[in-house]
Amino acid sequence: MQEFQVFDWAAIGARIREKRVFLYWFIPVTFILVWALTFSVPNYFTSEIALSTEMVHSEEGYRSFTLNRPENFDLGLSAIAYSISPDDYVTLVASTDFICRVLATPVMTADTSFTGTYYEYLETQNRYPWHKALVRLMRGKKNAEVGEPLPELDPFFPRGRVAEAIGLAQKNISCYVDRQTKLTTLTIKAQDPLVAALVAQSAAEILKQVTSEYYLDKTERVYEHLEQQIVFVHDQYLEALKSGDKAYADMLNEAHQSFSRQAILLNAQMRYYQIFTTLSNASVPTEKAGPHHLSVAFIATILIGLIALCIICRKELFG
């Protein structure tokens, strides 16, 4: 018959009572030390903004931005591929070029003690937890002084303070795209609530601008080709009139009018089409998102206390 080990709870209780004076001091001191260490970790706030991507369903699946469909114009350009899709937004937001654009955003702290760019804010106002501050001190790094000239933002060869600021911003800015609805959510973390909201709003505007550049660059090429076709068809139409070929001239005239209508429509859509619809604007958070110092201290103290009890009662527990 298999034997099961039964703990001697009386012996364990006696052992704990024997060490009660140690435990009375150990637990409070542990709590205070853990709280002191976690308290040095700066608070941070989060701000979110949700954007809905304009989608069109086709046989090939979901397409973004209906203007970027050259086959609609029957110009022989259907082989042109898309420059970007919503699934690429996560990579785009994390790119160095995008981050450098965000770093140039003007920001201001909630207490108005600082006004400058997000780049300057990270380099002069960002606080570090004790262990990172210690490592930075050992490496001879320190925050820049307010008003100190900083290196120019260079997305192609970032180094020094620029690389440090880019790394901090990449950790603070995240993008999530829902696979089903393609809803794009930008989440910004910052140590100041107003800075978090301002950077979130700016990141959304930059994402709109960058994606427009991708989409419209391809669409503008379609528009340019369409204009060339209009000029070519018009010239052929004039030659057909001169030669007296009325049937061919009528066909070219219809093609010219069709291309002209499509050019007018495409130009209007390029000017006013919205790639994103903002579903929820960035708001200034009123409560910090983390860290919760007391909760961390309580949990850590309980775990350390359990480990200490296991060490004290190791003979009773493990024979």
Specify the pLDDT at position 220.
74
CB atoms under 10 Å from CB of 49, counted, come to: 23
Q: What percent of the chain has pLDDT over 70?
A: 84
Split at pLDDT 50, 70, 90, the class of 6 is low
Per-residue pLDDT of 226-277, as tens digits, reads: 888 888 888 888 888 888 888 888 888 888 888 888 777 777 766 656 677 7
CB atoms under 10 Å from CB of 284, counted, come to: 15
Specify the pLDDT at position 69.
44
For the chain, give every domain's residue range.
9-39+295-318, 45-290
Residue 157 has pLDDT above 60, yes or no: yes
Query: Does 259 or 118 have the greater pLDDT score?
Result: 118
> If you average pLDDT over residues 182-190, what whole number do you get?
91
Alpha helices by DSSP H, listed for the chain, are: 9-18, 20-39, 89-94, 96-103, 118-124, 130-138, 161-172, 193-243, 246-272, 293-312, 314-318
What's the rounded Cα separation, in Å, for the pair 239 and 216?
34
CATH class of this structure's domain 45-290 = alpha beta
Query: Does 159 or 107 have the greater pLDDT score?
Result: 107
User: CB–CB of 230/256 below 8 Å?
Assistant: yes
* Range name among 104-113, 218-227, 255-264 with the lowest pLDDT average: 218-227
What's the rounded Cα separation, in Å, for the pair 136 and 141?
5
- Give the amino acid at 10: A
Specify the pLDDT at position 55.
54
Split at pLDDT 50, 70, 90, the class of 165 is very high
